[in-house]
Amino acid sequence: GVVMDTVGIGVWKFDCHTGEQVWDKSLYPLYGMKPTGSKNDFETWRMLLTPEARRKVTSDWESIQKGAKEINSTYEIRTADGHKKFIGSRAIVIRNHKGEPEMIYGVNWDKTESYELEQRLENEKAKAFHNAKLASIGQLAAGVGHEINNPLAIIAGQVAIAEQLILSHDKPDREVLERFKKIESSVNRIANIVKGLRTFARSDDNQIVHLDPIS
């Protein structure tokens, strides 16, 4: 009717035995189509679906076969005149006395704006979660760096003292000195790793300064 056309809602029914789908005339503008009066609009509609939406339709049909009483989905389509839309779809399943699906009655509406808003909100939530996770990792890295740095400084200091003690002898043991050099090298490598952790953890203290080139 006029109200359905105005609000962009259309209804349909699907015969599970014959595979025939009948559309109310209000449904055609939603898909950018002209009324056909055909009882086989299902295949025409299916061709408008994206591959992902077709997989969702298959999944919904499997749910109906398993006993679902209703379907509530969103399908991405490309309208007959080339526009991308997200179509909301709710349907109820009528079954016979054996529990087999006989008829499906459904309603479709354009939910492109609300769906895209939901997606943007989800993306923003994902970004916020990612940033919070990075901040947590930064705090952990700072803590680990601090915990390692203290004993590392003690080791470096003790190695330096030991080297000086050996060098103070009349005949320094060169083999022992060489081993201390290797320890010193390993300590420096660990120190660089710790420095990297602390750099990663450090917040950006840079400030933007506005300069007036005229003054």
Q: How many CB atoms neighbour CB 128 within 10 A?
A: 10
> Which amino acid is residue 155, in one-letter code?
I
Instruction: Tell me the C-alpha distance between 10 and 13, whole Å.
Output: 11
pLDDT of residue 101: 93
pLDDT of residue 107: 93
Q: What is the side-by-side strand order in the sheet with 101-110?
A: 21-23, 9-15, 101-110, 84-95, 70-78
pLDDT tens profile 50-92: 999 999 999 999 999 899 999 999 999 988 777 889 999 999 9
- pTM score: 0.52
pLDDT beyond 70 at 119: yes
Confidence class for position 206, pLDDT limits 50, 70, 90: very low
CA torsion 182→185→190→193, rounded to 10°? -140
